[in-house]
């Protein structure tokens, strides 16, 4: 064998112990697909067809010939990432198809990086909150309740965001709230 694998995009050879990239989305690294790319530009060519919402190019190192032969003999090769060694670096690349964010934008970015959300903005749907309290207890709701609940929701979200960061994810999940 002269080289490890071919680039999934341009078919260029990826040599043993050389740098390559793989998609951060797990379905692209599975046993059936196992996409590997010789450069970030080849990875970017993969994005329109894959239609990922948020994907990154993960920099990896191809195994040595000896390590590759051991894995082939053992028959436990599932993805190229299993054979990589050294630190993994994620490179965030925006999807060239998308014209903006996949969700609605709240407003232009402020100087502090927020999208126009001020700390006193209400995050709760007030009419639904009042209806819930009225149906559950036949009570009215004071005007300051949505502000207090919004602050509580912000604290919960901040904790969940930190939990997702600690796990190395860019997606906040329900389990992040359960840990708080």
Cβ contact 80:23 at 8 Å: no
Looking at the domain assignment, is residue 25 inside a domain? yes
Residues 122, 78 within the same domain: no
Residue 78 is predicted with a pLDDT of 45
Q: What is the pLDDT of residues 11-68, one digit of tens each?
A: 999 999 999 999 988 888 877 788 999 999 898 888 887 888 788 889 999 999 888 8
Q: What is the pLDDT of residues 148-163, one digit of tens each?
A: 999 999 999 999 998 8
Could you list the residue range(s) of the whole structural domain that residue 156 is in? 105-180
- Report the number of distinct structural domains present in the chain: 2
Report which of 26, 1, 25, 3 is spatially closest to residue 16, judged by C-alpha positions.
3
Distance CA 7, CA 131 (A): 57
Backbone angles phi, psi at 19, to 5 degrees: -75, 140
pTM for this predicted structure: 0.43
Note the helical H segments in 51-125. Answer: 65-74
Query: Edge-to-edge strand order for the sheet containing 56-61?
Result: 19-23, 56-61, 89-92
Q: How many CB atoms lie within 10 A of CB 140?
A: 9
Residues 77, 127 within the same domain: no
Residues 86, 15 within the same domain: yes
CATH of residue 171: 1.10.20
Mean pLDDT computed over 132-151: 92
Distance CA 47, CA 24 (A): 11
Looking at the domain assignment, is residue 99 inside a domain? no
Looking at the domain assignment, is residue 76 inside a domain? yes
Looking at the domain assignment, is residue 100 inside a domain? no
Checking if the pLDDT of 81 tops 50, the result is no
Checking if the pLDDT of 142 tops 80, the result is yes
E strands, 1-126, are: 5-6, 13-14, 19-23, 56-61, 89-92
Looking at the domain assignment, is residue 174 inside a domain? yes
Residue partners of 43: CB distance under 8 A and separation at least 6: 9, 21, 23, 37, 57, 93
Looking at the domain assignment, is residue 15 inside a domain? yes
Residues 75, 130 within the same domain: no
Which of the listed residues 92, 122, 157 is the one where a domain comes to its end? 92
* Rg of the chain (C-alpha set): 23
Looking at the domain assignment, is residue 111 inside a domain? yes
Distance CA 38, CA 4 (A): 11
Looking at the domain assignment, is residue 97 inside a domain? no
Residue 178 is predicted with a pLDDT of 82
Query: How is residue 174 written in tokens?
Result: 């329900």
Interhelix angle 126-137/145-166, rounded to 10 degrees, is 110
Residues 17, 65 within the same domain: yes
């Amino acid at each position: 064998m002269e080289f490890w694998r071919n680039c999934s995009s341009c078919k260029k050879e990826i040599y043993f112990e050389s740098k390559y990239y793989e998609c951060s989305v797990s379905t692209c690294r599975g046993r059936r697909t196992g996409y590997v790319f010789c450069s970030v530009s080849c990875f970017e060519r993969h994005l329109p067809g894959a239609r990922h919402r948020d994907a990154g190019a993960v920099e990896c190192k191809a195994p040595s010939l000896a390590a590759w032969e051991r894995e082939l003999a053992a028959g436990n090769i599932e993805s190229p990432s299993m054979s990589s060694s050294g630190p993994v670096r994620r490179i965030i690349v925006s999807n060239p198809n998308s014209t903006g964010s996949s969700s609605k934008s709240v407003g232009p970015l402020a100087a502090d990086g927020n999208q126009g959300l001020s700390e006193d903005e209400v995050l709760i749907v007030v009419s639904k909150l009042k209806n819930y309290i009225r149906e559950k207890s036949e009570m009215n709701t004071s005007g300051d309740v949505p502000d207090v609940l919004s602050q509580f929701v912000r604290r919960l979200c901040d904790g969940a965001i930190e939990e997702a960061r600690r796990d190395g994810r860019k997606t906040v999940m329900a389990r992040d709230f359960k840990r708080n």
